[in-house]
Structure 1
Amino acid sequence: MCYPFVGGTHSNAESACRELGAVGGAFDSLSADPQSACPAVEDPVVATATGVWCGRQVRWERTFGNSCVLRTTTGSVFAL
Structure 2
Amino acid sequence: MTLDTDACAVQVGCVLLQKQPDDTVRPIGYWSLALNDAERRYDTTQRECLAIVWSVLILRPFLKVHASPSEPTTIHSSGS
- Using structure 1 for the length normalisation, give the TM-score: 0.27
Which structure shows the bigger proportion of residues in strand conformation?
2
- Using structure 2 for the length normalisation, give the TM-score: 0.27
